[in-house]
Chains A and B, each alone.
Chain A
């Protein structure tokens, strides 16, 4: 499975869009990009995933570059409750079944 690289931490003002980048330059054609978040010590929560097209759901938008080597998770109007660690994971067919979480990005939403 491809490795991912994320910034260690980011701040975002409440009400503004939070843009969380992820680099996955070794992604293969059949691997998906997944995003999860973990609030405090709760169980991680699935946010969104995509293969090559941009995706949007009620929580966030996922923008994947045309070469698929990087992606950005967008929280359109961040609230204090979005303060969490955000994990970007690459996984898909042909992998070794492992679902590996990296160190993630610690997002702090500021009032």
Chain B
């Protein structure tokens, strides 16, 4: 158990819909990272937050947005969903912003029909 909690574990929805994925980092970790992993693909970095502020942005679509709240949990919002958005979405946390290992959650599997 990494200490990072992601909900929901599985989600099935239709094209055009909007979903929210939630991540609770390990106790004491200030950084949260979001990654997308499509079937048999590598991990694509989406975005990173540190103590509520956005610190780095990767290949995140404009239809996607994220935020980190004062209690340090984070949410990833995916809107106008398309079939190609079906993927595993991982959240990871770390203590700092640059160095230090990442601890990953078990992921949220999104299926768009």
Residues of B within 8 A of A97 (CB): 48, 50, 55-56, 97-98
Q: Is B2 an interface residue (CB 8 A)?
A: yes
Cross-chain contact A43 with B45 (CB below 8 angstroms): no
Cross-chain contact B33 with A99 (CB below 8 angstroms): yes
Cross-chain contact A44 with B106 (CB below 8 angstroms): no
Q: How far is the CA of A45 from the CA of B3 in the complex (A)?
A: 12
Cross-chain contact B45 with A101 (CB below 8 angstroms): yes
Interface size grouping (class) on chain B:
20 to 34
Is chain A's interface secondary structure helix, strand, loop, or mixed overall?
A: loop
Which A residues, 78 to 111, have Cβ-Cβ distances below 8 Å to chain B?
A: 87, 91-93, 95-104
Closest partner residue, chain B, to A45 (CB atom): B104
Q: How far is the CA of A46 from the CA of B2 in the complex (A)?
A: 10
Cross-chain contact B42 with A103 (CB below 8 angstroms): yes
Cross-chain contact B99 with A101 (CB below 8 angstroms): no
Q: How far is the CA of A98 from the CA of B33 in the complex (A)?
A: 9
Which A residues, 34 to 90, have Cβ-Cβ distances below 8 Å to chain B?
A: 34, 36, 38, 41-46, 49, 87
| Centre residue among B4, B55, B101 by max chain A CB count within 10 A | B101
Cross-chain contact A93 with B101 (CB below 8 angstroms): no
Cross-chain contact B42 with A104 (CB below 8 angstroms): yes
Cross-chain contact B35 with A101 (CB below 8 angstroms): yes
Cross-chain contact A98 with B43 (CB below 8 angstroms): no
| Centre residue among A100, A102, A104 by max chain B CB count within 10 A | A100
Q: Is B107 an interface residue (CB 8 A)?
A: yes
Residues of B within 8 A of A93 (CB): 98-99
Residues of B within 8 A of A100 (CB): 45, 58
Cβ contacts A to B, 6 pairs, < 8 Å? A43-B105, A44-B92, A49-B101, A92-B98, A93-B98, A100-B45
The 3 closest A-B pairs by CB, nearest first: A43-B104, A97-B56, A46-B101
